[in-house]
Amino acid sequence: MQLFATPELSPLHFEEQAHNVGYRAIAGVDEAGRGPLAGPVVAAAVILPEKFDLPFLTDSKKLSEKQREQLFPQIRSQALAIGVGIVSPVDIDRYNILQATLMGMRLAVTRLRLAADFLLVDGLNPVPLPLPQKTLKQGDSRSFSISAASVIAKVVRDRMMVAYDRRYPGYGLAKHKGYGSREHMAAIARLGPSPQHRLTFRGVREHVRTP
């Protein structure tokens, strides 16, 4: 018997399938910040109740900043558990962005106050934990649990980047959140990388200044 069959019926399809075979603490897992030139990668894991009220919940990239900020406290108040994992630029450079992302996801899951018994993971790579799980390409648009995790990860990371902008002025981190905008690239060339830049990334490594 196929455990998880298609077609997909709704953004709760995979959660319902998992419930139907006996899982009760199903965590959606997603990350924010794989692509930027600066800042951490932030992962989140969210276990939603079977019934919740989260209007316009979807992939965080399809939401405005205002919508994400509105959803953030609603998810926090309604979720059964939320875990967040943050991996620094230093560790991104040390391990590469894929491994750093998986480290962040693992941290997020292990920090859930309610232990997950099944994971729905955005992307193609499973979380390195001995838990049953399903990876979903574009899962942040296909599963409400993953959508909720994407919003938590994105808001946490964006708030961190606003704080880093005050600490490292001149790069515009609050505006572009570390992504490689023309303004950001020009600032890196002019000022050199800050401690929050990923030194192994193209667009940054060319401007590393050795003593």
| Predicted confidence (pLDDT) per residue in 159-207, tens digit | 999 999 999 999 999 999 999 999 999 999 999 999 999 999 999 999 9
- Contact (CB, 8 A) for 130 and 38: no
Average of per-residue pLDDT values in the chain: 95
What per-residue confidence (pLDDT) applies to 7?
53
pLDDT digits (tens, 9 = 90+) for 23-47: 999 999 999 999 999 999 999 999 9
pTM of full prediction above 0.85 = yes
User: Can you give the residue ranges of every domain in the chain?
Assistant: 13-167
**1-5, 131-135, 169-173, 178-182: which has the minimum mean pLDDT?**
1-5
Q: Which is it for the CA torsion 85, 88, 90, 93, positive or negative?
A: positive
SS in 3 state form for 51-118? CCCCCCCCCHHHCCHHHHHHHHHHHHHHCCEEEEEEECHHHHHHHCHHHHHHHHHHHHHHCCCCCCCE
Portion of the chain with pLDDT greater than 70, in percent:
95
pLDDT one-digit tens code per residue, 56-77:
999 999 999 999 999 999 999 9
Task: Specify the pLDDT at position 9.
Answer: 61
Query: What pLDDT does 2 receive?
Result: 44
- Report CA-CA distances (Å) from 206 to 166, 173, 196, 209: 25, 19, 16, 9
Query: Which CATH number applies to 13-167: 3.40.140.10, 3.40.630.10, 3.30.420.10, 3.40.50.1860?
Result: 3.30.420.10
Judged against a pLDDT cut of 80, whether residue 127 lies above it is answered with yes
